[in-house]
């Protein structure tokens, strides 16, 4: 069910994601993807005297993201109109349209803070059962608040960037000393990332009713995780080096507005949440994003984002309820997207039950975690308006061996 | 012992910290503090045709910080020479020298990632005894690695900024529902922050032998903490909203070079650390920084940084051993500086033993945590060359009440 319908081309006018690209000799600039082409928005906007032309000449989306929801909507309408030929500018567009394989894609955003949530009850429950078999699967706080923590913004990389296997400490096996070396449990986390466009003021919480106005767009995200490093280090202050070596995001950022037809009710929250996390269905909603995880081209999972317990509006309200501000470029990730069924789990930790039930991921013998050379790709789409489809930017990365020293 | 010797003026030529300041109608720029004056380095460097004049005209120290250790040293020598009149430019300096009370001080750095360690065995042991009385005081990993986590870079504020009491969830008291409201256990953490000047390459760990070359300077830091929010949220992914509402740093950044005379051996590490954390004494050293915590002008503690278990070089080596890169502007904080004695504990959590043994902090009746209106100030100094003293920039903040809604 996750492949686009036959004959339905991907990245049609329902998607129109923004990215940052360059061609040899040219500075990086903002483009929009249509099918397998990129339209140079800096060039197009300049040629057509668009008042926001300057934001497209930037080497990141941040200036565009800072403009706010009214101008995001206007600009998207202008882009769609230009690309669908409705305004008689098709010859101008053609001059600024190049093929995807002729460009280099860059990290689309200067990431401000990177916050990672833990919003799937299925994922959190699986992790609890694997790592803390003698405790309740979900921590006592889990259904009362969307648990989150800060990740490393400086190591967010664009899709296609190789990922070096991290080295680090792991728990002692024999004797009192910890082990050390390349991670033996290198994993993925299939996630969805929300990029904050407009910031907020320190000391002023963003209510659920306002959260949506701050969200610029959506990326797919792979939160690479070294389970052995993480398991040894994470008590009591949380994951650190088990995650901080790399987080990959898609090169293409699909505007949040594109998902208006993909809003779905949450699966249900019980017990009821506190007031600051509560709101009507048009503020607190799930998203019907259909994801797919491929390892070396083999599909290993098909998580559905509609199974997530917490809504993105609740995440934003929670992370600001203490007065913490948002900034343009903040990356708010959902946490691993896992559903109730085995073939919808979003990490190898879950898919192989901590390596005890190896998968065939095309790397030779059945394996529990990632081998050097493995290529991981996450793709996704969502229902669009009028039966169309919104394609999400894919995120991929290949594992390189640890450095020898 | 923590007050400067009588007659020894603070911020003498041993310190010469950099900061960012502005005067009415002028853009923020880089200055250096000498006693109670600020010298406009943008103006001075321009007047004297200094080749690095452009970095001083920036509204943050980041461009200066990116220049690297050789030029940091040269620039500091040039500044000292100019300010001590050795080069016959005293008239030029006088034209660019203004009093501290005539300027506005700004956040001195665009913070990239904020990493907070937990490097005092006394603090970690106290917290363990208070929060986890049935477990060993130090977690099993504590003596094998400097535990750290990522904090929120976007809410780092400059000394003097008011801090709004955060609201948030706390553990259920009666019945199943969590509480909600303004934090009732608002605390401080007296810390030292190290600012990373030159970055490193993704995938390439920074060894202890190289760590020092990446460290530009030192700030005092107050990692404000809401203990009730933190206690409820922190399992399993670590502190989040209990910390993210504000972290204050001093406006003045003292160059790391200024502390050469304050290097001291670490108290001792047992068991021995793994190889990547090991090195000779001139790479792995403590710092003899004498700190003082004042609440409403009353001295409540005098922590000594030389009591810290882990060295800053080990923190840098650890946080990059997995290949994570450093960036200009990364803020690496020590964690709460506590010594073995009660009057050297660096948090009210410890000083009042979780509120059970209230202190008189000048707010009226004895109290365990901070009241609205309380003013917290952290100061510090270190031995300088030739019997002189290096003054650290102070960090202060006053508590404002939570917003009413």
Residue of B161, B236, B273, B330 to mutate when probing chain A, most A C-beta within 10 A: B236
What is the pLDDT, as a whole number, of residue B160?
98
CB–CB contact A238 B241 (8 Å): no
Q: Is B123 an active-site residue?
A: yes
CB–CB contact A169 B144 (8 Å): yes
* Average pLDDT estimate for B47-55: 96
* Average pLDDT estimate for B204-230: 98
Q: What percentage of chain B reaches a pLDDT higher than 70?
A: 96
- Give me the residue from A144, A150, A168 closest to B169, CB to CB: A144
Interface A:B, Cβ pairs < 8 A = 197
CB–CB contact A238 B236 (8 Å): yes
pLDDT digits (tens, 9 = 90+) for A21-57: 999 999 999 999 999 999 999 999 999 999 999 999 9
Give A140's contacts in chain B (Cβ within 8 Å): 171, 235
Residue of A320, A322, A403 to mutate when probing chain B, most B C-beta within 10 A: A322
Q: Within the 337-376 window of chain A, which residues sit less than 8 Å (CB to CB) from chain B?
A: none
What is the pLDDT, as a whole number, of residue A405?
61
CB–CB contact B152 A150 (8 Å): yes
pLDDT above 50 (res B353): yes
Instruction: Name the residue with tokens 């008042």.
Output: A51
pLDDT digits (tens, 9 = 90+) for B358-383: 987 665 556 789 999 999 999 999 99
Q: What percentage of chain A reaches a pLDDT higher than 90?
A: 91
* Average pLDDT estimate for B253-271: 98
pLDDT above 70 (res B405): no
What is the pLDDT, as a whole number, of residue B362?
62
CB–CB contact A239 B240 (8 Å): no
Per-residue pLDDT of chain A (405 residues; tens, 9 = 90+): 344 455 567 999 999 999 999 999 999 999 999 999 999 999 999 999 999 999 999 999 999 999 999 999 999 999 999 998 766 788 999 999 999 999 999 999 999 999 999 999 999 999 999 988 999 999 999 999 999 999 999 999 999 999 999 999 999 998 889 999 999 999 999 999 999 999 999 999 999 999 999 999 999 999 999 999 999 999 999 999 999 999 999 999 999 999 999 999 999 999 999 999 999 999 999 999 999 999 999 999 999 999 999 999 999 999 999 999 999 999 999 999 999 999 999 999 999 999 999 987 665 556 789 999 999 999 999 999 989 999 999 999 999 999 876
What is the pLDDT, as a whole number, of residue A243?
98
- CA angle, B265 then B267 then B272, to 5°: 95
Query: Does the beta carbon of B89 lie under 8 angstroms from any beta carbon of chain A?
Result: no
Q: Within the 179-208 window of chain B, which residues sit less than 8 Å (CB to CB) from chain A?
A: 180, 202-205
Give A178's contacts in chain B (Cβ within 8 Å): 141, 144-145, 274
**Are the C-beta atoms of A249 and A116 separated by less than 8 Å?**
no
Among the residue ranges B88-97, B134-143, B288-297, the one predicted with the least confidence is: B88-97
- Give me the residue from A113, A241, A322 closest to B153, CB to CB: A113
Give A229's contacts in chain B (Cβ within 8 Å): 322
pLDDT digits (tens, 9 = 90+) for B220-238: 999 999 999 999 999 999 9
pTM, two decimal places: 0.97
Query: Does the beta carbon of A149 lie under 8 angstroms from any beta carbon of chain B?
Result: yes
Residue A145 distance to chain B (closest CA, Å): 8
Mean pLDDT of chain A: 95
Give B324's contacts in chain A (Cβ within 8 Å): 152, 154-155, 241, 244-245
pLDDT digits (tens, 9 = 90+) for A249-275: 999 999 999 999 999 999 999 999 999
Query: Does the beta carbon of A168 lie under 8 angstroms from any beta carbon of chain B?
Result: yes
* Average pLDDT estimate for B65-88: 92
Nearest alpha carbon to residue A144 among A276, A339, A305: A276
Query: Does the beta carbon of B95 lie under 8 angstroms from any beta carbon of chain A?
Result: no
Kindly indicate the confidence band of residue B8, based on its pLDDT and cuts at 50, 70 and 90. low
Mark out the alpha helices in B247-383 (DSSP H runs): 312-320, 348-351
Instruction: Name the residue with tokens 């190898």.
Output: A348
Give B187's contacts in chain A (Cβ within 8 Å): none
Kindly indicate the confidence band of residue B7, based on its pLDDT and cuts at 50, 70 and 90. low
Instruction: Name the residue with tokens 């608040």.
Output: A145
Query: Does the beta carbon of A76 lie under 8 angstroms from any beta carbon of chain B?
Result: no
Give A323's contacts in chain B (Cβ within 8 Å): 164, 166-167, 245-246, 402-403
Residue in chain B lying closest to A183 (CA): B322
pLDDT digits (tens, 9 = 90+) for B146-178: 999 999 999 999 999 999 999 999 999 988 899
Give B319's contacts in chain A (Cβ within 8 Å): 240-241, 244
Kindly indicate the confidence band of residue B55, based on its pLDDT and cuts at 50, 70 and 90. very high
Give B113's contacts in chain A (Cβ within 8 Å): 152-154
What is the pLDDT, as a whole number, of residue B360?
75
Mean pLDDT of chain B: 95
Strands of A18-22's sheet in order across = A97-99, A37-40, A29-34, A18-22, A104-106
Residue of A240, A318, A335 to mutate when probing chain B, most B C-beta within 10 A: A240
What is the pLDDT, as a whole number, of residue A88?
73
Query: Does the beta carbon of B167 lie under 8 angstroms from any beta carbon of chain A?
Result: yes
pLDDT above 90 (res B62): yes
Kindly indicate the confidence band of residue B276, based on its pLDDT and cuts at 50, 70 and 90. very high
**Are the C-beta atoms of A144 and A366 separated by less than 8 Å?**
no
What is the pLDDT, as a whole number, of residue B367?
73
């Amino acid at each position: 069910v996750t492949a686009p319908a036959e004959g339905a081309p991907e990245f049609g006018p329902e998607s129109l994601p923004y990215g940052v690209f360059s061609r040899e000799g040219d500075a990086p600039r903002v483009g929009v993807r249509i099918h397998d082409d990129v339209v140079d928005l800096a060039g197009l906007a300049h040629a057509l005297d668009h008042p926001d032309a300057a934001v497209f000449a930037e080497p990141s989306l941040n200036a565009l993201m800072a403009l706010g929801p009214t101008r995001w909507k206007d600009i998207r309408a202008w882009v769609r109109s230009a690309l669908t030929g409705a305004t008689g500018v098709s010859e101008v567009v053609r001059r600024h349209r190049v093929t995807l394989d002729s460009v280099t894609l860059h990290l689309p955003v200067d990431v401000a803070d990177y916050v990672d949530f833990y919003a799937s009850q299925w994922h959190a429950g699986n992790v609890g059962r694997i790592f803390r078999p003698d405790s309740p699967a979900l921590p006592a706080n889990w259904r009362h608040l969307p648990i989150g923590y800060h990740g490393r913004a400086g190591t967010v990389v664009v899709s296609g960037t190789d990922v070096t296997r991290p080295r680090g400490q792991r728990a002692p096996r024999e004797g009192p000393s910890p082990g050390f070396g390349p991670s033996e449990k290198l994993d993925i986390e299939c996630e969805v990332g929300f990029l904050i466009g407009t910031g907020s003021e320190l000391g002023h919480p963003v209510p659920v009713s306002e959260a949506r106005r701050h969200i610029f767009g959506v990326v797919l995200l792979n939160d690479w995780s070294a389970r052995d490093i993480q398991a040894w280090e994470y008590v009591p202050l949380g994951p650190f080096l088990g995650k901080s070596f790399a987080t990959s995001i898609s090169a293409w950022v699909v505007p949040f507005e594109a998902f208006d037809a993909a809003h779905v009710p949450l699966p249900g929250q019980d017990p009821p949440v506190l007031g600051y996390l509560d709101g009507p269905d048009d503020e607190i909603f799930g998203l019907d994003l259909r994801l797919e995880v491929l390892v070396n081209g083999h599909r290993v999972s098909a998580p559905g984002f509609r199974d997530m317990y917490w809504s993105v509006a609740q995440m934003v309200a929670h992370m600001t309820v203490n007065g913490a501000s948002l900034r343009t470029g903040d990356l708010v990730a959902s946490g691993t997207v896992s559903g109730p069924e085995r073939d919808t789990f979003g990490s190898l930790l879950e898919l192989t039950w901590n390596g005890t039930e190896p998968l065939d991921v095309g790397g030779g013998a059945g394996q529990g975690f990632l081998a050097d050379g493995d290529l991981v790709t996450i793709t996704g789409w969502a229902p669009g308006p009028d039966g169309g489809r919104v394609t999400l930017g894919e995120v991929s990365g290949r594992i390189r061996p640890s450095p020898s020293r």
